[in-house]
Amino acid sequence: MQTFQKMEAISLQLPVVQRYQDNLEKLIECLEKHQDKALIVAPEVCLTGFDYMHLKTAAKFSAKALKIIKKIVDRQIVVLTLILEDKGGFVNRAIVIHKHKVVHRQEKVKLFALGNETRYFLSGKKKNIKLFEIEGVKFGLLICFELRFKTFWKQIEGADIVVIPARWGLPRKQHLEILSRALAVMNQCYVVVSNSSDADMARSSAIISPNGDVVQNDTQPQVKGIVDFRQIKRMRRYIVMN
């Protein structure tokens, strides 16, 4: 049973610096600052970036960082992706943390060839892109490039909230904004996009309502918004899709 009428959400819009520890400390600072917020989404690989020349080091750091973050995250729902070592290779794994536990894991399925991801990462399984539930709220999760694939939209149909950790490039900024807004309207849900603020990244972090209303601010390190579950119900009653 859903325990929320409204949920305060934060979409982080952070840069990645070369020193991993600095990125971790910034993330922890954000988590502690927003302890009163129910949902926090961080950009894709926000602790290490795609540090292809040091993947083993990045994976070891990420594994240690995860243990630290789990101790901090209590009632919040925190979403991020980490480079981790698994099955004889490396994966870009989305992690959802709640009450000091990992409650959902999901490897990136669609790797971005233009960014050389296909050369360095193992691909996840398509079947793992599916709804998961936390305290009565149905979530879907897409990692960056996966937003472009309409078959995945179908797999997360019925989500109340779709979270999208991303490292989406500046030349395709408009694509990110159009697709994430369309997903919210099509699936009649909230979409929370968290994208990197590096100079070559699109920013465009946003909280988007089922009606297509967008809260976005490219100049800030975070975007704050409200997920109103009553609006989801109203929209789904008003325009019946099934």
In the chain, what are the domain boundaries?
6-238
Q: Residue 72: count other Cβ atoms within 10 Å of its Cβ.
A: 15
Architecture per CATH, 6-238: 4-Layer Sandwich (3.60)
pLDDT by residue for the chain (242 residues), tens only, comes to 566 789 999 999 999 999 999 999 999 999 999 999 999 999 999 999 999 999 999 999 999 999 999 999 999 999 999 999 998 999 999 999 999 999 999 999 999 999 999 999 999 999 999 999 999 999 999 999 999 999 999 999 999 999 999 999 999 999 999 999 999 999 999 999 999 999 999 999 999 999 999 999 999 999 999 999 999 999 999 999 87
Q: How far is CA 231 from CA 30, 120, 157, in A?
A: 28, 42, 17
Instruction: Using the structure block, give the residue that is written with the tokens 């600052």.
Output: 33
CA atoms within 13 A on the CB side of 150: 2
Instruction: Using the structure block, give the residue that is written with the tokens 């926000």.
Output: 46
* Global confidence as pTM: 0.97
Report d(CA 157, CA 241) in Å as an integer. 11
